[in-house]
Chain A
Amino acid sequence: MIALVKRPEPSRVFSLAAPLLAVLATMVFGGLLFAVLGKDPIEAIATIFWEPLFGEFAFFYRPQLLIKGAPLVLIAIGLSLGFKAGIWNIGAEGQYIMGALFGAGAGLAFYPLESAFIFPLMVLAGAFGGWVWAMIPAVLKVKFGTNEILVSLMLVYVAEQFLASMSLGLLRNPEGMGFPGSRNLQQYSSAHNADLIAGSGMHWGVVVALIAVIFAYVLLARHRLGFAIRVTGEAPRAAAFSGINPARLVLFCLGMSGLLAGLAGMFEVSGPAGQVTIDFNVGYGFTAIIVAFLGRLHPVGILLAGLLMALTYIGGDIAQSKMGLPAAAIQVFQGMLLFFLLALDLFTNYRLQFKRAEAV
């Protein structure tokens, strides 16, 4: 008979091994899925994981890794702070959109003025947009005890409608010949979030993402607030006794994750995306949830997980154009990864014990 026995302490080895095993299991089962779809599984997996890094056109895809990874890491870092404390912001997609709208709006308000102040102002506006949008569930939770999961998610749909309204109305390019969408910020040099080294994919968003990783690491490892976050998540009763203010924690965690998601949106709209359009958001806010868990809610882990997830996006695109693999297959693939991770996590806290059935 097999029994589950709780480990006295979470296993460090398994805590590191679980994400790797989950990736392996996802490759195997993802391969099966691709085989069912009539594609060569080995080729598909190789296209997704190998081609972008070492393939013939790797020089083109490698910068993409930074471009796609930066928003994922930025959002996931913010989410992980809350997740650690049991505060669930799952509306990062909405905060990302609002950050982009505020940021782009601030920049476009000055068009065609060229000034060094415009871009920093846009950064502030983007951060503010995401922060405000996350403060709605935060304040409602603190004041009325409203469930932050549901409110933050509802606000994603509100933000999407708002985005549609903005790109068809207020922010529409007056010289766009009636097409929806704003002016292209890439052609407005004061507002353009250009590559810091041309062609490297290294834009300001990447720099900020790296800063966020370091900031989160220091916060969690060294700062009192980080300690409060960890205690609240692991032992809520102990946290209450030690005088940690839960309301302040909710405001900080949700506010911070909104701020970072807003920044991610702002850097995306002023750089790689270029303009506000109806379908500007591509689900980074939701994928970041997977990134946060895959990275074990640890800043360094999230950095690696963000790069891996960016790889599946890029590899997925290649597989789509080269092998005709449907875009949704990659979404399934990413979902699968989260399943395996959650399942394998069991062995971090429990171990299997084999014993003979006892006579009753």
Chain B
Amino acid sequence: MDLSAINPVLFIAGFFVAATPLIFAAIGELVVEKTGVLNLGVEGMMITGAICGFAVAVETESPLLGFAAAALGGALLSTLFAFLTQVMLANQVASGLALTLFGLGFSALLGQSYAGMKPPRLEDVDFGPLGDIPVIGPVFFSHDIIVYLGLGIVIAVWAVLKFSRAGLILRAVGENHDAAHALGFKVKRVRALAIMFGGACAGVGGAYISLIRVPQWTEGMTAGIGWIALALVVFASWRAFRVLLGAYLFGGLVQLQLNLQGAGVAIPVEYLAMSPYVITIVVLVFLSRSRSAAPGSLGRIFHASS
């Protein structure tokens, strides 16, 4: 075992890379849940985003177009969920599961011919002299644009939810859909839009895994990150900045686990690999005692009966 093989600066910088897929998926789901909808299809939308992004990036040789396609793919799949739950009034838990099962199969089908390929590289943002500062430069100013976009989206979601009229309507729909309906807000329209936003975010998060973090396409490569993102929303008690905190904590743990594997610690690889899931469960246990933060109408079906 050689722990000195772990470079602390690269290790900390790796936090951002490990956390970005989670940030995207979790902040999207946070918005969806704020409108009172529980979409358990995050994993399916992520993996669909991962293959859509990968395929388009390989074909066009533009990673950014890949990310755009991933957002589109995730949003399209989530439209299916919106249709099922908002128009056909289907059970949200079952529909979310269906979305995940379908997404895993669909992505495997699309991805057949892309296994083993290398995607085009996304350049890091050039911060000029900032990037040359020792320690701080590599940690904060040596990432690709998507990492910073993730931070930007978290700030934007926080600001919209807290300060704007749109955010107020969104929260009203989530807290009490009957009251919101009585005030004349279009409950279903708000929810459908939120679901699509969540789908687009999950798609980008998935593409970040296939285009940058791994970077390669393999079947089922999201390996439960979508589910961890769902847990993260609970962890964050539906607050945007806590999502960020949770994602970095979690990203750090994943990073630590990978580094320990690399350093050849005496713990078998399988037990290290199961640690992120075990830790998620432990965190859920500690945080579940206060459920009061959950939106009031979460998971309930809305049907305006006259």
In this assembly, does A140 line the interface, its C-beta being within 8 Å of a C-beta of chain B? yes
Which of B198-206, B247-255, B285-293 lies on the face that meets chain A? B285-293
Shortest C-beta distance, B35 to chain A (Å), equals: 19
Contact (Cβ within 8 A) B291 A145: yes
Number of interchain pairs (Cβ within 8 Å): 137
**A165-B112 in contact given A144-B288, A286-B101 (Cβ < 8 Å):** no
Contact (Cβ within 8 A) A146 B268: no
Which residues in chain A, 97-145, are within 8 Å of chain B measured between CB atoms? 136, 140, 144-145
In this assembly, does A176 line the interface, its C-beta being within 8 Å of a C-beta of chain B? no
Shortest C-beta distance, A288 to chain B (Å), equals: 11
Shortest C-beta distance, A220 to chain B (Å), equals: 19
In this assembly, does B121 line the interface, its C-beta being within 8 Å of a C-beta of chain A? no
Determine the distance from Cα of A155 to Cα of B280 in the docked complex, in whole angstroms.
Answer: 10
Determine the distance from Cα of A335 to Cα of B44 in the docked complex, in whole angstroms.
Answer: 11
Contact (Cβ within 8 A) B284 A158: no
In this assembly, does A153 line the interface, its C-beta being within 8 Å of a C-beta of chain B? yes
In this assembly, does A360 line the interface, its C-beta being within 8 Å of a C-beta of chain B? no
A sample of 17 cross-chain residue pairs with beta-carbon separation below 8 angstroms, ordered by A number, consists of A4-B89, A6-B303, A6-B305, A140-B285, A144-B289, A146-B288, A150-B284, A151-B281, A154-B277, A326-B108, A327-B108, A331-B105, A331-B108, A332-B102, A332-B106, A336-B102, A343-B84
Tell me the nearest residue of chain A to B276, going by C-beta.
A157
Report the 8 A-B pairs with minimum CB-CB distance, sorted nearest first. A331-B105, A335-B102, A328-B108, A165-B270, A161-B274, A328-B109, A342-B90, A332-B105
Shortest C-beta distance, A261 to chain B (Å), equals: 16
In this assembly, does A290 line the interface, its C-beta being within 8 Å of a C-beta of chain B? yes
Q: Interface code A341-352, partner B: CB below 8 Å = 1, 0 otherwise?
A: 011011001100
In this assembly, does A208 line the interface, its C-beta being within 8 Å of a C-beta of chain B? no
Which residues in chain A, 305-334, are within 8 Å of chain B measured between CB atoms? 326-334
Q: Which residues of A contact B (CB under 8 A)?
A: 4-6, 37, 88, 90, 136, 140, 144-147, 149-151, 153-158, 161-162, 164-165, 168-169, 286, 289-290, 293, 326-336, 338-339, 342-343, 345-346, 349-350
Contact (Cβ within 8 A) B285 A335: no
**A145-B288 in contact given A165-B271, A326-B109 (Cβ < 8 Å):** yes
Chain A interface helix/strand/loop/mixed: helix
Tell me the nearest residue of chain B to A160, going by C-beta.
B274
In this assembly, does B97 line the interface, its C-beta being within 8 Å of a C-beta of chain A? yes
Contact (Cβ within 8 A) B281 A140: yes
Q: Interface code B77-93, partner A: CB below 8 Å = 1, 0 otherwise?
A: 00010011000111101
Determine the distance from Cα of A155 to Cα of B274 in the docked complex, in whole angstroms.
Answer: 9
Determine the distance from Cα of A331 to Cα of B95 in the docked complex, in whole angstroms.
Answer: 16
Determine the distance from Cα of A153 to Cα of B228 in the docked complex, in whole angstroms.
Answer: 10
Determine the distance from Cα of A6 to Cα of B112 in the docked complex, in whole angstroms.
Answer: 44
Contact (Cβ within 8 A) B109 A147: no
